[in-house]
Amino acid sequence: MIASDITPTLTELGRQTRHAAQQLATLSTADRNAALEAIATALEAATPEILAANQADCDAAERDGIAKPLYARLKLGASKLQGAIAGVRDVAKLADPVGHVQIHRELDTGLVLKRITCPLGVLGIIFEARPDALIQITSLAIKSGNGVILKGGSEALRSCQTLVEVIHRALETTAVNPDAVQLLTTRAEIRSLLTLDDYVDLIIPRGSNEFVRYIQANTRIPVLGHADGICHLYLDAAADLEMAIAIAVDAKTHYPAACNAIETLLVHDAIAPQILPPLAAALQAQGVELRGDALTQAIIPIIPATDADWATEYSDLILSIKVVDSVTAAIDHINTYGSKHTDAIVTQDEAIARQFQQNVDAAGVFHNCSTRFADGFRYGFGAEVGISTAQMPPRGPVGLEGLITYKYEVCGQGHIAATYTGENAKPFTHQDLGE
């Protein structure tokens, strides 16, 4: 009997997942990669079954009058499914994040310390309508040796159930206990999931800002992610004007719904009269609505920006503009209104750039490039688990590294602490050893 056939209480499900995850954590790289290949093969074989379930979800969603963008995310055509399956094999090819020796140190003769990376345990992932996200997240969890409890959007229920059934069938032929992958099917279970601190080690919410804030406020389990992405671009007095316009247009319009798109443009007053007219024209040509403070409005005829604008993530083709009199004023504005996601400066003055990058408190602080590069794939991590705006690591775009922790192993030959204390205390050698 596979786990999805029974309906244990959530605590019991947590216990099962924890148990399966403990076994998964000790499997070899080859075993985990073989499980990923089994999943990819099974998903290929079950393509008609998966697409039929997804079509049923889509039909029901259409009857319910679902919004178009949500429908597009829900819809899993053959090519999107193929892409997701290729993604599983890509994850298998990534370097194993487990078992790295981060510290290897002789404390004394015959007494050796190692700090070794290991899986976190069990992940709780709450995502929206996209069924392909389930495939990606499950791959990342198995690759990193973690169990995973999944909760997808209710619109995608049939798709998610079918996908998890196929994944369970695949895992039964591998070293990975199928209980390591679990699916929650009701919205009420989210609240219960958030209380399972004994069985869930990390929650990763993927959804609206309000949803992420709700999760953050209602659990003691660590949450990886971010609510707002209020990113800024500051055009300094020493900016190359052509570069500044190109970066501003890209950072705003390339994908306005992305968290790394800019919401506010800060412009030094020395270049404002010169740059604002062509910049406004370029942005407006892309359909961007501009809102400005009084100084900006004195130069270009746009609607006013209020204090609320500085604290708003539009996620849309809207940009607020403020004229500032120094890099310091720009830094102060960003440290006041920013969400510590990604902020950028355009300047040819290296000292000003240095000042900006040192003083802006954000996960990403860029110079002469678009904020849109803040992304795990673009950083070369091979995967992105989420983007964190927390102060503590993991911060910024987080790859597989965010799904692992470490433990300290000390091996001795009967060593006791009394030897190293008191009058005749033996000193430690503290000598770093090679890998």
26 in contact with a second copy (CB under 8 A): yes
Continuous H helices in 46-187:
47-63, 68-74, 78-93, 131-143, 157-171
Stretch that binds a second copy, among 129-137, 165-173, 215-223, 304-312 (CB under 8 A): 215-223
Q: Contact between 104 and a second copy (CB under 8 A)?
A: no
The single residue among 71, 211, 214, 379 that binds a second copy, judged by CB under 8 A, is 379
Give the shortest CB-210-to-a second copy separation in angstroms. 17
**Residue 173, H or E segment:** none
Q: Using CA atoms, how far apart are residues 196 and 204, in angstroms rounded to an integer?
A: 14
Interface residue with a second copy, options 67, 220, 423, 424 (CB under 8 A) = 220
Selection from 232, 244, 223, 177 nearest residue 17 by Cα: 177
Structure tokens at 259: 């968290």
Query: How far apart are the C-alpha atoms of 202 and 221, rounded to whole Å?
Result: 6
- Least distance between a second copy and beta carbon 276 (Å): 19
150, 182, 396, 398: which one contacts a second copy (CB under 8 A)? 396
Query: Looking at beta carbons only, is 62 or 198 nearer to a second copy?
Result: 198
Regarding 9 and contact with a second copy (CB under 8 A), the answer is no
Shortest Cβ distance from residue 44 to a second copy (Å)?
Answer: 26
Q: Tokens representing 306?
A: 């209020």
SS3 call for 101 = strand
Using the rule CB under 8 A, give the single segment among 18-26, 36-44, 84-92, 177-185 that binds a second copy.
Answer: 18-26
Question: Of the two residues 211 and 379, which places its CB atom closer to a second copy in the complex?
Answer: 379
Residue 406 interacts with a second copy (CB under 8 A)? Answer: yes
* Complete DSSP assignment for 210-247: HHHHHHHHT-SS-B-S-S---EEEEE-TT--HHHHHHH
240, 279 Cβ separation under 8 angstroms: no
Q: How far apart are CA 246 and CA 346, in angstroms?
A: 11
Contact 90, 40 (CB under 8 A): no
Determine which helix (DSSP H) or strand (DSSP E) holds 384, and give its type and residue range.
Answer: none
Is residue 411 near a second copy by the rule CB under 8 A?
A: yes
CB of 102 to a second copy, least distance (A): 10
Distances (CA, A) of 370 to 244, 251, 362: 10, 5, 15
Q: How many residues bind a second copy (CB under 8 A)?
A: 70
CA–CA distance, 133 with 226 (Å, rounded to integer) = 17
- Where does this chain touch a second copy (CB under 8 A) — which range of 66-74, 154-162, 278-286, 363-371? 363-371
Q: Using CB under 8 A, which of the segments 74-82, 136-144, 229-237, 410-418 binds a second copy?
A: 410-418
203 lines the binding site for a second copy (CB under 8 A): no
Could you tell me if 18 and 121 are in contact, meaning their C-beta atoms sit under 8 angstroms apart? yes
> At a CB cut-off of 8 Å and minimum separation 6, what does 402 contact?
202, 224, 385, 386, 388, 394
Alpha carbons within 13 angstroms on the beta-carbon side of residue 399 total 16
Q: Determine, following the binding rule CB under 8 A, whether residue 391 of this chain makes contact with a second copy.
A: yes
Q: What angle do CA 402, 394, 209 make, to 5 degrees?
A: 95
Is 218 an interacting residue with respect to a second copy (CB under 8 A)? no
Shorter beta-carbon distance to a second copy: residue 208 or 421: 421
Judged by CB, which is closer to a second copy: 160, or 203? 203
Residue 24 or 164: the one with the smaller Cβ distance to a second copy is 24
> Is residue 376 part of the contact set for a second copy (CB under 8 A)?
no
Question: Which of 135, 150, 146 minimizes the C-alpha distance to 186?
Answer: 150
Q: Is 243 in the site for a second copy (CB under 8 A)?
A: yes
* Residue 158 in tokens: 């049939």
Exactly one of 9, 79, 413, 424 binds a second copy (CB under 8 A); which one? 413
Q: How far apart are CB 348 and a second copy at their closest, in Å? A: 10
Tell me which residue has tokens 């030897």. Answer: 419
121 lies in the binding site for a second copy (CB under 8 A): yes
Binding site for a second copy (CB under 8 A): 22, 25-26, 105, 107, 111, 113, 120-121, 201-202, 216-217, 220, 222, 240, 243, 246-247, 249-251, 254-255, 335, 353, 357-359, 361-370, 372-374, 378-380, 390-393, 395-397, 405-418, 420-421, 428, 430
